[in-house]
Amino acid sequence: MNQNQVMKRYYKEFFLSIAAYVIVLIGSISILKGFEFTQPMQTIIALTPVLPIAFVIIAIMRALKDSDELQQKVQFSAVIFSAVATGMITFSYGLLEGIGFPPFPTIWVLPMMFMFWGFSLGYFWKKYQ
């Protein structure tokens, strides 16, 4: 499979999964706001958006596995940068929480990682060209 085919499949899987995530997220929020459920049922409904995100991660992993070596190297560098940057920021903020800063909402950790990953891709692509 060439790189164009890999990316075509990735975009299809990624955007279908993201669309499913948005639909499930809106549905779960609407259901939780509109009805009363027991705590276990609320937990299940609140976690339903995780399933489509798992498919996003599967699409990413499949695309990385099937990519050429240069693409893998660039992506690896970007992912490592993302993990370290996110770790340092959340760790540092955790220390600030100890002196009275408001709690950091953990729901932002994964989007932060994806943001750093995306931004750093530009840098690493230039570095390897």
What DSSP string describes the chain?
A: --HHHHHHHHHHHHHHHHHHHHHHHHHHHHHHHHS---HHHHHHHHHTTHHHHHHHHHHHHHHHHHS-HHHHHHHHHHHHHHHHHHHHHHHHHHHHHTTTPPPPPGGGHHHHHHHHHHHHHHHHHHHT-
Q: For 45-99, how does the pLDDT look when each residue is reduced to its tens digit (9 = 90+)?
A: 999 999 999 999 999 999 999 999 999 999 999 999 999 999 999 999 999 999 9
Task: Kindly report the average pLDDT of the chain as a whole number.
Answer: 95
Q: Which residue has the higher pLDDT, 128 or 60?
A: 60
- pTM, 2 dp: 0.78
Domain map (residue ranges) of the chain: 1-67, 68-129
Report pLDDT for 67.
93
